[in-house]
Structure 1
Amino acid sequence: MTELQELIDRTELADLVARHSLWIDERRYDESDRLFTEDVVVTSRRGEAKGVEAVIDLARARHDDYARTLHNKSNLVIEVDGDTATVRAHDTAVYVLDDKTEAIAAAVHLYRARRTDKGWRFDGLEVRPVALTAALERAL
């Protein structure tokens, strides 16, 4: 792999992580094929989801009850090995419960990705929770 190709791959993978946050926050479930392989497996405290439809159901069950969410990924560590890759990211999320309260969560996201004929796609995600606040009174 050339240095240029590695830079391109790393940029595409970082973009994929950012798009994952938008997918959740803006409920862009119709864009799932731009993020995931058909055989994607996601594991979290809420269980395991296999396949795109199950991943959408898991996301909806966890996020659609909130008025809004805002996920921020940082500290990306990207390892590319040919046509597969891993990405480790810190995720900090604000969950707006209603117009008076919110909660804040932190987790480590461990992504697995593979190169497809349509570009990089996630074929695995493990969510490792770190912290979650109780409902907080909103200041804004």
Structure 2
Amino acid sequence: MKFSTLSSSAAAAVILGLGGLAGPASATSAHPDGFEPTTVVYSDDGNCKAWINTHKDVTGTWYAQGLVHSWNGANCQIYLQQRYSGAWHNADAAAATNGQDQTGWYVDDTGYRCRVAVRNHNNQEPYNAGRSV
């Protein structure tokens, strides 16, 4: 399920809200709105960085978004992956070269977990998956 009603100003606030403590996503434990520092993952060559931002909507449902940042000419690609029904599924993708891009917002609430997987496509590296929330 894709979360598409987040306004551009709210999305910017989440992207710019790079603070807070991280914790696991579950029915009994909440994580903060914004940057999830424990989800940061790098490509093998270190020229790509990816992470997850989270957002709780007005109904109390958590959503996750994958972000990717590139430098040194790296063609960085990510998948935002959701785990449900016992398996990981690619929910969305984003790519950037010498800049930043992000995926859409996807459910990261009870019964779901989200993570990002990143690689530098220039080097045909394998994807490195970050910690899930």
Same fold, TM-score > 0.5, yes or no: no
Query: Greater share of helix residues, 1 or 2?
Result: 1
TM-score range, shorter chain: 0.3 to 0.5
The alignment's TM-score, normalised by the length of structure 1, stands at: 0.32
Task: Give the structure, 1 or 2, with the largest relative contact order (CA under 8 Å, sep 6 or more).
Answer: 2
The alignment's TM-score, normalised by the length of structure 2, stands at: 0.33
Instruction: State the structure with more CA Rg.
Output: 1
